Structure 1
Amino acid sequence: MQNETGTSKAEWHKSDTNCSALVPVKRGKSLSQLMKTNHKRMSRVLGFCLTLGTEDAWYEFSALAAVRLTELERAALAFAALYSLEYEHAEMTAAAVIGSAGDPPPSFLGGMVDARLWAEWANRSELKAYALAAYEAMSTQDQARFYQHISEVEIAA
């Protein structure tokens, strides 16, 4: 006997629907059976955090992730989350985690004291950006003196 695809009921075909009960079903392991225990736990924790939506819940997620996930897994998770955001929001989120000093404040205590205080709070990209901008803004003579100073410090270290 033939069905609408032109194959007999004895021959199983992908589009057969009349005799799908006769098609043997290969039962494999479910995804949850293949998952690592720590991944299952973190999936549940993520669900709790999404449900609660509180700052405390997300801090707890962070603490548990540090224990249950590898650094590579946490980095991939962070990358995926940041990649899903608009650039400005991703930048603000990363700065909140990494730390950011923002723009240097006006100098009240005398240049170097304020600069050093600001530099303690600045993240790496801020330090590099302001250092380069400050260097480029210097006169040629000041650039030469600065280069001499950092060369002497490097030699002394």
Structure 2
Amino acid sequence: MKPEHKRMSRVMGYTLTLGDTDAWAGFTKVAAARMTIEERTGLAWAALRALEDTEQVEMVAEAILNHAGSPLPTFLSPMDDARWWASFASLKERKAFARAAYEALPLKEQMAFRRHISEVVIAA
């Protein structure tokens, strides 16, 4: 067995021992950093095939693909909270909420936002 595979086996063992959502979130980060896309794909395929029925597979896929849901109310910093939410949201969610938020702005604020975006694009 390759040394990197032994290390990932230990990480998997620690994750299974702890068994909570924080452990699995940590496993996800380590797997993304230390495993190839082919290895992660194989692991995901095997894990999904090990489930009892297609309903369970669909529930897992839905949980993964429907990332963030609606943004939560802001706490201290609306921009920090929005960025945090956007880091979990799917592209479809980000586009929908961005468009709805833009459309809800008064016309003057929409124009200011357009200027801001044009300046950002020019600066890039």
> What TM-score, normalized by structure 2, do the two folds share?
0.52
Q: Which residue of 1 aligns with 2:92?
A: 120
Taking the aligned partners of 2:57 and 2:40, their CA distance within structure 1 comes to: 16
Which of 2, 17, 20 aligns to 1:51? It is 17
Instruction: Letter of the 2:9 partner, please give it.
Output: S
Q: Report how many aligned residue pairs link the two structures.
A: 71
The runs of at least 4 aligned residues of structure 1 exceeding 4 Å deviation read none
Q: Which residue of 2 aligns with 1:75?
A: 41
Taking the aligned partners of 2:33 and 2:92, their CA distance within structure 1 comes to: 29
- Check if 1:88 corresponds to 2:55: yes
Shift of 1:100: 6.8
Deviations, residues 132-152 of structure 1 (Å, cap 9, x unaligned): xxxxxxxxxxxxxxxxxxxxx
Q: Map 1:31-46 to 2 at 5 A.
A: 35-46=1-12
- Check if 1:61 corresponds to 2:33: no
Structure number with the higher helix fraction is 2
Higher relative contact order, structure no. (Cα contacts within 8 Å, ≥ 6 residues apart)? 2
The two structures, once aligned, show a CA RMSD in angstroms of 2.1
Taking the aligned partners of 2:6 and 2:63, their CA distance within structure 1 comes to: 28
